[in-house]
Copies of this chain bind each other. A is one copy, B any other.
Amino acid sequence: MAGKYPVSPLAPAAFPALPVIRGASFATVAAGVRYAGRTDVMLARLAPGTTMAGVFTKSSTRSAPVLDCQAKIGGDGDAGAAIVVNSGNANAFTGRNGIEATRAVTSAAAAVLGLPEDRVFSSSTGVIGEKLPAERITAKLGDLAAVLDEGKIEEAAKAIMTTDTFPKGASAEVMIDGQVVRIAGIAKGSGMIAPDMATMLVYIFTDAAVERPVLQDMVSTLSDLTFNCITVDSDTSTSDTLLMAATGASGVRVTEGNTAFIEALRGVMLDLAHQVVKDGEGATKFVEIHVSGAPSDADARTHAMAIANSPLVKTAIAGEDPNWGRIVMAIGKSGAPADRDLISIWFGDVLVADKGWASADYKEADGAAHMKGQELSIKVDLGMGGGAATVWTCDLTHGYIDINADYRS
């Protein structure tokens, strides 16, 4: 539960100053869903004309709010939209009660805001398998609607935290046809983080005008290059949701293939993804793993993820041990092609293994020196082809056990 554990040593110095996204306003409240003494519900109101896109968990046991979002995300409508998020209870594996609780929240928000119900999206994050006390949320919606404010995005980032030790935000500004377009995003997530989906709760807002199919293509494509390239513990949430809202309030239209906008959005998404890893439960090291020389990009990714998810690699990193034998082990078990005698491995810029065996010039002190850093780089070249991939992870420490062997917050 937020506040119970010390702030991650990898946390940014401060929450970034996020720009106002015209057309997106926020409010938060302490509704007592589960936590006491903190905000746990956030409402975001998106102006009329907003387009919405989303990426969701592929879990076969996904939660009622995720199923509800998926049913609604393809819809259009000029009335605007809203997002309601609660922390403390995931409303997952709650049977028919889950559907009813989701409907109670979204229909109440629709009534309060004068929106069609199918334009209200909701997320729930926290404990699985307990009935969501929807009435605690619905009772506060009138109060929330009354205090919506375009300047309150940081408060929104705080209200959605669970085991997170810091709120996560990122932003970008892009010049398009001489006019400024802004993007701001918030995220939560620190455990149950693995790719193959949006990986956590992420909400991104822009004042650009982007048609729905274009916006959806952008977030789907960029998710695969950002959120789907991170892993904390290989576990996959039932609730992972990324929603993006384009309010159009800047009056600037962004069309398919707008490289400047796509790059700016990618930057925001990658920044948020990295922050999630840096708040990985118990994390003390941020690790970039780059695999090249694979027969294909997909093979490179398989190897990179095998390394990133290996408990033996992650504990060696925690122990600042340049144990490259475990990297070899992880490559061997990944299932993707590898030729033992062609593999080279670097810790940072230190060549550790050179085509199948310890490099002649390698001194363990050099590898160990790199491992003492807080941001580490592990590079592997398979010597087989042109496929490459980069993924990000953190170490596996006593902190992860502490948090998860007693978590039920």
Contact = CB atoms under 8 A, between A and B. Distances in A.
Interface of A: 57, 59-62, 90, 92-97, 127-130, 191-192, 194, 196, 233-238, 309-312, 315-316, 318-319, 321, 323-326, 328-334, 337-341, 343, 353, 355-358, 396-398, 400-401, 404-408
B404 A319 contact: yes
A326 B128 CA distance: 8
A92 B330 CA distance: 13
Contacts of A312: 191-192, 233, 235, 404
B328 A61 contact: yes
A185 to B, nearest CB: 25
Contacts of A94: 357
Contacts of A405: 315-316, 318-319, 321, 397
A256 B79 CA distance: 74
B397 A60 contact: no
Nearest to A61: B332
A194 B330 CA distance: 12
Nearest to A397: B401
A296 to B, nearest CB: 15
A402 to B, nearest CB: 8
**How many chain copies?**
2
A400 B315 contact: yes
A171 B331 CA distance: 35
Nearest to A95: B357
A57 B335 CA distance: 12
A193 to B, nearest CB: 10
A251 B356 CA distance: 47
B357 A93 contact: yes
Contacts of A396: 311, 401
A132 to B, nearest CB: 12
Nearest to A334: B60
A347 B151 CA distance: 48
A337 B60 contact: yes
10 contacts: A59-B333, A61-B329, A128-B325, A129-B357, A129-B358, A235-B310, A315-B400, A315-B401, A319-B404, A319-B407
A93 B356 contact: yes
B408 A357 contact: no
B311 A406 contact: no
A128 B129 CA distance: 43
A237 B191 CA distance: 27
A396 B401 CA distance: 8
A321 B129 CA distance: 14
Highest count of chain B CB atoms <10 Å: which of A60, A309, A339, A406: A60
Given A129-B328, A318-B405, A194 B236 contact: no
A332 B401 contact: no
A140 to B, nearest CB: 25
